Chains A and B, each alone.
Chain A
Amino acid sequence: MLNTILEINDLTVAYQYKPVLWDIDLVVPEGVMMGIVGPNGAGKSTLIKAVLDIVKPVAGSVKLLGKPYHKVRSKVGYVPQKGSVDWDFPTTVIDVVLMGIYGKLGWVRRPGRREKILAGEAIGKVGLSDFTNRQISQLSGGQQQRVFLARALIQDAAVYFMDEPFQGVDATTEKAIIGILKELKSRGRTVIVVHHDLQSVREYFDWVTLLNVRKIDSGPTDKVFNNENLEKAYGVNFNMAVTK
């Protein structure tokens, strides 16, 4: 039996008294590539943010690698939604990627030559070597997404959380990103992805969690990703969502 990497118990999150996640229980085994799927407003991003201590839950507990989050931070990589930052910020590609090391550097200390070499490698992996010193607003949406991915790669984590890494990227970039994710999985890393495109779920993920405020179901894609569960998650609009 696989080891558990993420264990969530009775997690409830609310914004302004409105529950966004309700009583979630979830167990994710180590080494899977899991898609979190559900309609808009289902709480997919919030689930990740609650695990990463960005959002404070009303109730419930989260254990990563068997420990509370703040004890295992250095083993976690995070790719926020691309739209959550201002890309006109005065900074360069390598500078953003270096932010992935800040957590390991601790207070006051600055990244040095060793860190810059690591950043250069991560930038190379996502195919942006020619853009290393480019200002980030001059990148395309797909390139910006790759910058975030490189920043997560440099975190060298055991488990990665990615919030819609395929949003607003072209088919080439999507393939490149999925290639990198599969490589992470092949090296035993767990990858958890908030995902919107139902068509590609079977192709990309071996584990799926269906969510709509409550957990609908979670498990191996073959067993869980079926019409019945999709109907439960998406309601009557399910057929429209898939045939689109």
Chain B
Amino acid sequence: MDFIDFIISLFTDYTTRTIGMGTAVLGIASGTLGAFTVLRKQSLLGDAIAHASLPGIALAFLITGIKNPFVFFVGAALSGWLATLWIMSIVNNTRIKSDAALGVVLAVFFGVGLVLLTYIQKLPNANQAGLETFLFGQAATLIKEDVIIMLVITIFSLLCIFMLWKEFKLVTFDPQFARSIGYKTNLLDFILNTLIVLAIVLGLQTVGVVLMSALLIAPAAAARQWTDKLGRMVVLSAIFGALSGLAGTAISSTGAKISTGPTIVLSAVFIVFISFMFAPRRGLIAKAVQRGKNRHRLALNKIFQSMYEICKNHDNPGHKHSLAILKTLPEFNKRTVRVLQEKDLISIDKKRDWCLTAKGLKKIEEMTDNEN
């Protein structure tokens, strides 16, 4: 099945459509909230929340005894949210820094989750199989009801962000100023963190606890490369997230039996790679080009100024000098001299002697004036 077939099957095939919609919605939710996570420098928090949701899923199963996506969802959200609160309280109340707090809480929760998982696997209950799919996710298990839950939660999150747009922006950019004008920054942090937990938990069934944070961070990191406006970054991040979801579903549905979650994450990483390389201004290539241009301009200015220094020693500014003199300068190369000649700042005669032109003299005076 090639890509065209995938597009067609999105409309015709029920399973593909469900999975495609689910992953796209997931991408939108995680892309949008990921933008704030990245800007708040909380990228690792996403990873901790995702891992920390595992014991919640296991406990939800142990307590209720049923395998229901919604039950798992609630368990995961509570456990992820508890981990977030714990991390925040460690950072606020002790001298332990956030990276250490994240590391410890992640390990504790994930460890407990794995222990509970192995315990469940040994229970004499046929119903048990399948919980370990939450480790790496299994998009194929998505059904219409799951997608509806995802859609409702995503719309709720987007609505919150739309309503509290300026509040979230200020509390992300300058929390101290936000407090000084009376913003309840703790409350806003709490709302934003809750939304982030929801977005992560949405993706556990599809992408899994191990890789979910990538889907939160990657679209946002890519989007940051393309724009300098928060609004555009958030929208772009959502689009990248949705594209990753669709591309991952498409590639894994080509029959090669590759699991969807990792493919979605790899698609997102591919978008990051493209963005880091090719984005205008912030991309690596754009930066290299800019550096080259700067270097060339500097060399040009420097050699031009050196030429002026040489000419200054003569009363007659039109006095000719040999090109050979310039060869002692480190900035000298044929290109710089040619460019100066093309710009009509110097003239070179047949004997390979040069002098500054009238235009060149005027230009150098302007340049020195600007410096003073």
Contact = CB atoms under 8 A, between A and B. Distances in A.
B227 to A, nearest CB: 6
A60 B200 CA distance: 43
A84 B163 CA distance: 26
A161 to B, nearest CB: 8
Interface in A38-88: 49, 52-54, 70, 73, 76, 78, 80, 84-86
B24 to A, nearest CB: 24
Contacts of B350: none
Nearest to B233: A90
- How many B residues touch the partner, as a band? 20 to 34
A149 to B, nearest CB: 13
Interface in B161-199: 163-167, 169-170, 172-174, 176-177, 179-183
Contacts of B174: 80, 84-85, 99
Interface stretch (A101-109, A121-129, A170-178): A101-109
B227 A90 contact: yes
B230 interface: yes
Given A90-B224, A91-B169, A108-B163, A73 B182 contact: yes
Contacts of B228: 90-92, 135, 137
Nearest to B226: A90
A52 B167 contact: no
Contacts of B39: 86, 89-90
Nearest to B165: A110
A73 B41 CA distance: 29
Given A102-B166, A110-B165, A110-B166, A89 B173 contact: yes
Interface in B3-56: 39, 41
Q: Which of A95, A105, A155 has the most CB of B within 10 A?
A: A95
Contact of B179 (A54, A92, A96): A54
24 contacts: A52-B180, A53-B179, A53-B180, A53-B182, A54-B176, A73-B180, A76-B180, A80-B174, A80-B176, A80-B177, A80-B180, A84-B174, A89-B39, A91-B228, A92-B228, A99-B166, A99-B174, A102-B183, A103-B181, A103-B182, A105-B166, A107-B164, A137-B228, A151-B177
Given A135-B228, A151-B177, 16 more contacts: A52-B179, A53-B182, A54-B176, A78-B181, A85-B174, A86-B39, A89-B230, A90-B39, A91-B228, A99-B169, A99-B177, A102-B170, A102-B183, A107-B164, A108-B164, A110-B166
